[in-house]
A and B are shown apart, each in its own frame.
Chain A
Amino acid sequence: MEDKNNKIKLSPVSEEKPGMKRRNFLKVLGGGIFIFFQPWNAFDVLGLTAEQARRSLPTDYNAFLQIAGDGTINCFTGKIEMGQGAITSLPQMMADELNVPLESVKIVLGDTDLCPWDAGTWGSQTIQTFGPAMRSALAEARGVLLDMASQKLGVPASQLEVRDGVVIDTKNPGKKISYAQLAKGQKLEKYLDVKPPVEDHTKFTYVGKPYKHVDAKIKVTGEAKFTGDLKLPGMVFARILRPPSHGATMKSVDISGAEQVQGTQVVRDGDFVAVLHENRDRADEAVAKIKAEFTFNELKVNDKTLFDRMVGADSRINVVRTTGDLEAGARESDRIFESEFHDPYDAHAPIETHSALAQLEGDKMTVWASTQSPFGLQDSLVRELGFPREKVRVITPFVGGGFGGKSAAQQGIEAAKLANMIKKPVMVVWSREEEFFYDTFHPAGVIRIRSGMDKSGLIKLWDYNIYYSGTRGSDTIYDVPNATTTTHQQNMDAIQIHPFGTGAWRAPNNNTNTFARESQIDIMASAAGTDPLEFRLKNLKDEKMIACWKAVADKFGYVPAKTPSGRGIGLACGTDAGSWVAFIAEVKVDTKTGQVKVVRVVCSQDMGLCVNPQGALIQMEGCITMGMGYALTEEIEFEGGDIKTRGFDSFEIPRFSWVPKMDCIILDRQDQAPKGGGEPAIIGIGAVIANAIHDATGARLYRMPFTAARVLEAIKMV
């Protein structure tokens, strides 16, 4: 019993011949009707890393649909599946727009030979940006099919209706023709430039209904293939010699120990030294026997001195947004509050480490990789190995968690480089230590806020400064007449701040900004002697935010009180990826140990049209659970370029015993455009827990994560 609609090409034994040229896929795919469309827009471009943005965007159409001769609807896109559920929600949209059964819809993801270019899967963009474009293309496809049916049946298109993939004459239901009959033998290509209006949401059959993961069955049997599960004849495992710290350079190397491990091949290209063995354990053993000396040239900074270094640095200052006048705001304020918030580096720590398999066939390199950006990896391979683009194919099997950390795909370059050197298929599966060492960490940062309110508790001043993290989620949200957001970033002529790579981490930087803003709001509400929800509502004009607050307070059964109330109830809200979220949490704090237990979290979310309520709910639960990690335990300890935190023994992520009672509410917004759902519900977890700890104990936490030691310290200061 095989689900017809979840067959994604995952096998390394490709049906396509090696060296197939781009666009030849039309021949490979046979006949049918093809609709090309452009799902990326300016917002998507903002999500690109600086490196990728330098590449000019292609003018080509970057996704397409095929209505095949058997009536199957295929969508080819460069997006990937890493647990966020795109392979469930995208087909739902397709089935609805074309009025076909869900089973006849297929999606092919993340293959650079078959799929048109796509920037990458991140920023909760798949449904938000890609979705509407795809639906327009589907509407176009339906129009084409109806025109064809109109001609064949001799009936005006306006008189036709589609039911389950069959076009029917409404006046004479006996007259009908199926999509399959229409598409058979066709070689029609349509290029979509205008966006036709999309379907009336009241007519949705699949969209808006809950669907479980279509890939669940093959994931519970072990059948689903992740990159590391692939195997090719003659394949060897590689382990690469790593420097002990970022910034260290190799002085000398002795590979004789490794060569004594029977069956080991050692290769070297400058500082790049790798061992290859047909057995993974032997490769591990061999790489450990390499003796190398390094020269250290590290930054003199560690996880404790970092924050002072950031605020003291000669930074590049940029005003991101400003309204009113800060001096006037200070004059209008009765009380002024100044706070400084700290957030350390955090690792993505997906359970699947970065993996890649590379195979050279003739002059064509194929790389299977766990990556959020197959086309980004293709670019890197072209640049770093000098292969022509048409000779590099990247295929993305199932990805075992990404969270932003698999936007970079160094392991893919390593595997390809080695496959090219030894002319054998090479598998690179990073060890857990490598995964931590080369993580593109959530950037550490400092937020300084100077805010003020008048006697009536209205916020009049908001001077918000971001040091070395990012602006996502830094919107003031509250209705403040005098507000400025300023960034302090790396000045290229000054000292380097981040000692190692940083990058996007689920809702990049929004967790930091929401923690700072919502803590500051709580500090003011507490000083005003006003219930923190009342204080927020008094200063909010954003209708959607207010609606989220009403929904979450209602579900929680919130009873107003001044904070600290001793109850351990915290509040926070924010926006991310176009969506609005509000949180109320309850915690218990052991004042003897400083240990915090999150008892309950209620979260409301306005994400516009929710395509798959089941999938969206799961994303929200995942966000809340994952968010407790950055709030309570996760941080990277380091000394210069040496990452001290390199395993799950020292890096503690949320476990089963942590899980609170969760209630997630998705506001009914069927008539609105869909927004992001993979990240918003994580942004307020740090803030809501900090505010709940304060409500329980009167202790204010200014630095994440709120470890037992830090909570104890803060309690002593009360």
Chain B
Amino acid sequence: MEEKISFSLNGKKTVITTDPNQTLLWVLRNQLGLTGTKFGCGNGFCGACTVLIDKEPTRSCMTAVSDIAGKEVITIEGLARGTRLHPVQQAFVDHDALQCGYCTPGMIMTATGLLLKNPSPTRGEIIDGLEENLCRCGAHTRILDAVETAAKVMKGGK
């Protein structure tokens, strides 16, 4: 029943042997110990489970693990370089853009994916990009501010 799946995980070539009829979300969390990717709804509506697959923000709860063979997966754990936070992460800290912190990894991954495609988004484009990610604490304004700041920092080549 189990299969070998090879892919790139946070920049490292990875081979896992696993039941292929699982979602990427639970393989990341339960088999690979990458619990920064959260379960929020299991139906793709909330975005807490967002990871980058080939640079595209993707709901890991809606992705079969067998579909990632040969692809490049980046999770929240793969953003920082050692102790140096990724500019999007740093901007979330600087803007205090979180409360309970549960939706935060999904927000950061979605925002990172957005900035990869569109390094100079308008406020409206940031809103559109994050619209399908849910936050219940109401940190929205600060999240938008954080993504604007991150965009500026990343363009500055820092």
CB within 8 Å of B: which residues of A? 1, 82-85, 212-213, 215-217, 219-226, 228-229, 231, 237, 262, 278-282, 284-285, 348-353, 398-403, 429, 431-432, 614, 618, 621-626, 647-649, 653-659, 662
Contacts and interface: CB of A to CB of B under 8 A. Distances in A.
Contacts of A429: 39
Given A83-B137, A216-B93, A350 B100 contact: yes
Nearest to A211: B96
A222 B37 contact: yes
A350 B136 contact: yes
Contacts of B79: 221
A649 B43 contact: yes
A219 B85 CA distance: 12
B9 interface: no
B129 to A, nearest CB: 9
Contacts, number: 183
A217 B39 CA distance: 20
Interface of B: 1, 19, 21-23, 26, 29-30, 33-43, 45-46, 48, 75-77, 79-80, 83, 85, 89-90, 92-93, 96, 98-105, 108, 126-128, 130-131, 133-144
A222 B34 contact: yes
Contacts of B90: 220
A440 to B, nearest CB: 16
Given A82-B100, A623-B138, A625-B140, A231 B40 contact: no
Contacts of B89: 220-221
A222 B105 contact: yes
B91 to A, nearest CB: 9
Contacts of A262: 1
A1 B83 contact: yes
Contacts of A282: 19, 21-22
B35 A222 contact: yes
A-B pairs with the 4 shortest C-beta distances? A222-B36, A83-B100, A625-B138, A400-B102
Q: Which of B79, B85, B135 has the most chain A CB atoms closer than 10 A to its own CB?
A: B135
Nearest to A624: B138
A225 B102 CA distance: 10
Nearest to B91: A220
Contacts of A402: 100
Contact of B92 (A216, A285, A624, A648): A216
Nearest to A623: B138
Q: Which of A221, A222, A625, A655 has the most chain B CB atoms closer than 10 A to its own CB?
A: A222
Nearest to B78: A222
B44 to A, nearest CB: 9
B37 to A, nearest CB: 7
B141 A222 contact: no
Contact of A618 (B48, B76, B135, B139): B139
Prevailing SS type, chain A contact patch: loop
Contact of A656 (B36, B102, B108, B127): B127
A18 B118 CA distance: 53
Nearest to B96: A212
Q: Which of B1, B96, B105 has the most chain A CB atoms closer than 10 A to its own CB?
A: B96
Contact of B101 (A83, A279, A626): A83
Contacts of B141: 621, 625, 659, 662
Contacts of B83: 1
A353 B40 contact: yes
A563 B66 CA distance: 61
A251 B123 CA distance: 56
B33 to A, nearest CB: 7
B127 A351 contact: no
A282 B105 CA distance: 25
25 contacts: A83-B100, A83-B101, A84-B99, A212-B96, A216-B92, A220-B98, A225-B35, A231-B35, A278-B30, A279-B26, A279-B30, A282-B19, A351-B48, A351-B135, A352-B102, A401-B99, A431-B42, A432-B43, A432-B45, A618-B96, A618-B142, A621-B138, A648-B41, A653-B134, A656-B131
Contacts of A229: 29, 35
B49 to A, nearest CB: 11
A280 B127 contact: no
A709 to B, nearest CB: 22
Nearest to A350: B136
A353 B136 contact: no
Contact of B98 (A1, A219, A649): A219
